Amino acid sequence: MAFIADALSRIKPSATIAVSQKARELKAAGRDIIGLGAGEPDMDTPDNIKKAAIDAIMRGETKYTPISGIQPLREAIAAKFKRENGLDYKASQTIVSTGGKHVLFNAFMATLNAGDEVVVPTPYWVSYPEMVLLCGGTPVFAETTIETSFKLSAEALEKAITPKTKWFIFNSPSNPSGAAYSKAELKALTDVLVRHPHVWVLTDDMYEHLLYGNIEYFTPAQVEPALYERTLTVNGVSKAYAMTGWRIGYAAGSEKLIKAMDMVQGQQTSGACSIAQWAAVEALNGTQAFIPERRKIFEGRRDLIVGMLNQSNGLKCPVPEGAFYVYPSCAGTIGKTAPSGRKLESDVDFVTELLEAEGVAVVQGSAFGLGPNFRISYATSTEALEEAGRRIQRFCGSLR
């Protein structure tokens, strides 16, 4: 009898964490490595947020909190949804968990039965299918293409929905493609969802504040109020407030679903870290002034790296509207030979040889369900990004 649960045989480790780990190891061994694998802002958490955490410690806010979160944070979340998204949620319709990842996991744990299907557009964030599988569900992939800048069409969504579909996962701006949907593009999808009342919508709005140019942000329940009752709107402080290590994510939805997620969390981690929750209150209620400043920095880096990639032999990169990722196609390099003498047969070969030859760590597109592509996180210093761009160009130029 196997000791490890069968459920674990259904999943694989996170490819993005694996790349960061490999880059760290090579660095420790003395190699000159530029890591473009990690999905976290290189900036620090703003001081007003750090201070709120220190104050919370000094006030003795160091005990267990209610499972779904401290009341001031749940109220701040409800106020955020009203202020930024025009959505009316009561504090009792919100839940705080240990990162956005935990929110998503709890939602699946609380709702999925064996055989339930979850529609996941490709390319997807690595954890979506794995979480669905771990919770006993079945991911059903709905493909996008580089020609439509990795945005899902209404037809592809319609085709993926079956009587067994429980959830549709929506993520805009997207990890890994950076694609962000306009209001009209989103409306085309919500029109499909309105016609399928058994399908719930899980919208992962984690990159809401990282949107470039003049694009305005919209979330599904805002664009289509008819979906309000069956939408779980997920967000968090990790990306917008550079708080990845604090581990606070949150969601709002129907009271019935939130109660079920509270039940899961209550038998698992209980309330999220009390100190981090007080920091998140300040993040949501305090000054938002640094968000547009940081957005400008990211936008400049996006333009820099997209320009450099599109001047690399064999690469093609659409200009993404948001997040801090680009997702170039490396189809034009497949079949060529790397300086090591190895023939590139896949995007895994491309990223492995790039790391070997030039010390640039990126993540293969096959980890996100669509390739041959690779993902670059440009949440790194402009200097490092520029150097990485030069090395990628040199590598692509060296392929024969």
Ligand X SMILES: Cc1ncc(COP(=O)(O)O)c(C=O)c1O
C-alpha pair distances (Å), 146 with each of 53, 310, 339: 43, 14, 28
d(CA 70, CA 9): 37
175: nearest Cα among 36, 326, 319, 306: 326
> Of 37-56, which residues contact ligand X (CB under 6 A)?
39
Instruction: Name which of 125 and 212 has its Cβ closer to ligand X.
Output: 125
Q: Which stretch binds ligand X (CB under 6 A): 22-30, 44-52, 81-89, 98-106?
A: 98-106
Cβ neighbours of residue 245 under 8 Å, at least 6 residues apart?
none
Q: Where do runs of H (alpha helix) occur along 67-122?
A: 71-85, 100-111
| Position 236 contacts ligand X (CB under 6 A) | yes
Query: Pick from 101, 209, 302, 336: which binds ligand X (CB under 6 A)?
Result: 101
Site string for ligand X, 21-40 (x = CB under 6 A): ------------------x-
d(CA 344, CA 334): 5
Instruction: Name which of 39 and 371 has its Cβ closer to ligand X.
Output: 39
**8-state DSSP, 330:** -
81: nearest Cα among 250, 316, 296: 250
- The residue to which tokens 């993902």 are assigned: 375
Q: Count the helices and strands in the chain (H runs, E runs).
A: 13, 12
CB of 319 to ligand X, least distance (A): 20
- The residue to which tokens 């990162």 are assigned: 99
Q: Which stretch binds ligand X (CB under 6 A): 55-63, 96-104, 260-268, 345-353?
A: 96-104
Instruction: Name which of 238 and 265 has its Cβ closer to ligand X.
Output: 238
Site string for ligand X, 304-323 (x = CB under 6 A): --------------------
Q: Which residue is nearest to ligand X (CB)?
A: 99
Q: Which stretch binds ligand X (CB under 6 A): 85-93, 97-105, 191-199, 278-286?
A: 97-105
Instruction: Name which of 236 and 322 has its Cβ closer to ligand X.
Output: 236
Beta bridge partners of 14: none
d(CA 100, CA 205): 10
| Position 80 contacts ligand X (CB under 6 A) | no
> Of 158-177, which residues contact ligand X (CB under 6 A)?
171, 175
Instruction: Name which of 205 and 358 has its Cβ closer to ligand X.
Output: 205
Spatial strand order in the sheet of 117-122 = 94-97, 249-252, 231-236, 200-204, 165-171, 117-122, 138-143
Instruction: Name which of 280 and 399 has its Cβ closer to ligand X.
Output: 280
| Region at 25 (left for phi over 0; alpha for psi -120 to 50; beta for the rest) | alpha
C-alpha pair distances (Å), 370 with each of 99, 242, 330: 26, 28, 11
| Position 364 contacts ligand X (CB under 6 A) | no
Site string for ligand X, 103-132 (x = CB under 6 A): ----------------------x-------
> Of 53-72, which residues contact ligand X (CB under 6 A)?
none
Q: Which stretch binds ligand X (CB under 6 A): 95-103, 139-147, 149-157, 277-285?
A: 95-103
> Of 175-204, which residues contact ligand X (CB under 6 A)?
175, 204
Query: Pick from 37, 46, 100, 369: which binds ligand X (CB under 6 A)?
Result: 100
Which residue ranges make up the site for ligand X (CB under 6 A)? 39, 99-101, 125, 171, 175, 204, 206, 236, 238, 244, 249
